[in-house]
């Protein structure tokens, strides 16, 4: 997908106390308040390329909005490992305390690592980074001798995420 930055998300005043709470919680050692992106408008499809307009916000804001029942469409990238020979998909079960989707089967995914001007790297590199982080296997790179992974784009209606998934 082609990502188009449309600025910074303006947080609603009604959720500012919850945002402040989450920013404090996420400032503690071992916690992170990473920059994220949310969908900002309709997707367009031209010449085989989907364009995704987005705005930047922090995880504390996304979490506070989700708790308020206004789950923002957070952009995420993930990987589902596929073994065609065995006709098997590899996913993982989320921890009981994970939010969202505790104890659910899940792709190896997370938010795009966003810099001030957009993603720090492309979708495939982000998917491989997330797979390495989530599995503990470390960094992955593509072997040019193999075809590029297939991509799927889907919307999680329960949690609002718009995920690009490498297969």
Note the pLDDT tens digit of each residue in 52-99: 899 999 999 998 998 898 877 888 888 888 888 888 888 888 888 877
Tell me how far apart the alpha carbons of residues 162 and 148 are, in angstroms, rounded to a whole number: 21
Contact 60, 33 (CB under 8 A): yes
Give the span between the Cα atoms of 132 and 9, in whole angstroms. Answer: 29
Give me the pLDDT at residue 22, please. 96
Q: How far apart are the first and last CA of the chain?
A: 15
Query: Cα separation of 98 and 119, whole Å?
Result: 25
Cα 65–chain centre separation: 16
DSSP letter for 40, please. -
């Amino acid at each position: 997908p082609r990502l188009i930055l449309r600025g910074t998300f303006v947080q609603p005043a009604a959720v500012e106390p919850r945002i402040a709470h989450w920013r404090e919680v996420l400032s503690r050692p071992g916690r992170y308040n990473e920059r994220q992106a949310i969908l900002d408008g309709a997707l367009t499809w031209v010449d085989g390329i989907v364009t995704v307009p987005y705005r930047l916000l922090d995880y504390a804001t996304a979490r506070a909005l989700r708790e308020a029942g206004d789950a923002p469409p957070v952009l995420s990238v993930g990987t589902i490992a596929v073994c065609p020979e065995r006709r098997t998909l590899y996913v993982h079960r989320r921890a009981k305390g994970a939010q969202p989707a505790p104890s659910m089967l899940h792709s190896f995914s997370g938010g795009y690592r966003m810099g001030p001007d957009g993603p720090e790297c492309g979708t495939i590199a982000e998917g491989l980074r997330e797979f390495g982080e989530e599995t503990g296997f470390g960094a992955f790179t593509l072997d040019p001798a193999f075809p590029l992974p297939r991509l799927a784009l889907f919307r999680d209606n329960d949690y609002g995420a718009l995920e690009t998934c490498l297969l």
